[in-house]
Structure 1
């Protein structure tokens, strides 16, 4: 098995929204804000090559949204999902599976593309797209708090294509995604977000998605205002970080523009960053 990090560009989000109740005097040291209080974040995806399977975890924002939408989030950087795939010797048609941790636009926007005929279709024509029923229902009938994050043009074409399948939280992965050690289902950020866990070169890797979007979010109170159940996020983080520290797991961050991955350790102040690393270091 080979696991790769894919950079798909950068975007900006309000620093206060990203760090919740934590004062700016603290979080600004971790990710300095610009004059508009916006901080730069990554749109990092994961690619798992295992035999004849090529599994893409999340897809970034994509490029089909209009200039007004893109302007809200200050999309910038030279990397795209397709270019990052090509640099590794792969193309969209090589991807066999797309695992979407959840269906917020910055995680699934690149799953669907707009064609020259202005049609919307899956960006990976040979892939099976994986979600779960509870999260899908949550996304297609969104609550007012998350409605702006669940864009129907990112979601419904997957179902219409016939390429969408649902994973069962109660079932194993042997018949679906056997290259994964497990999927952790968490509900603090949004309903039934999925975190893939892998055994890789003697280490346990966890793709943290929006449970822990960056190394700056390791302290327990550092919880995003976007989360629908912040106290549950805190509890889910506490459980994951305790085990990660005890078993020397590698945490991979989707939104940290500087730190791709790290290990953590237990300290007097709680679980904190131990060592930063890249997947190519393993």
Structure 2
């Protein structure tokens, strides 16, 4: 680059120097002549003058350009422009991929080097990224931008299918419920139940709502219904005294008096069971 500048400036300056020096030589020759005296300039004299001109031009231009270039120092840093701040939704448990690109220009370096502390994946929250542009003279400039990852997505909640259970006791039936919960950001969302998940549910239908809340405050709910039904018919138990014998739908008792024996059987039970009464004599 330095040599190219020399050649260009040398060509321009040579013309100017030639004119000035030739004029000076001619004036000097003319001054040495008497009035009315003439002198013929030979080729040798012209060659000598040209050689002096060429040497003078070379030395002057070399020294001038060397001093100018050597004394020129690039202290101007590049002009760097950062991308605008960006906000994105969290995509995975690790975070979100965000592409941030800065640009830079420089007065002497056509392609300044740009470096940064940008991340491959940005976690939940705000991350500040610093970009640095450096030119080939070692001058540098910096700028910053931010990448913000937010979580507005609620957890996923599945309370399962409705349950139907047979009533086990007069109080109801013990039933255990469970739910499947997941979240993009929070590995362990908080789970709450509107009814204890393991409890005795009474006869009838009981809706139970499960709610999951993640660390960002997002929540979602699902409801399951527990149905306790009674499909078991009652069991008829007749308590008889030791002396009363029931066999093949025939009740046999010991006669207690001349008139017989008193047996406490209600008509509806007798009709239901179709008993026949036999008296032992």
Q: TM-score, normalised by structure 1?
A: 0.18
- CA radius of gyration, larger in: 2
Larger relative contact order, structure 1 or 2 (CA cutoff 8 Å, min sep 6): 1
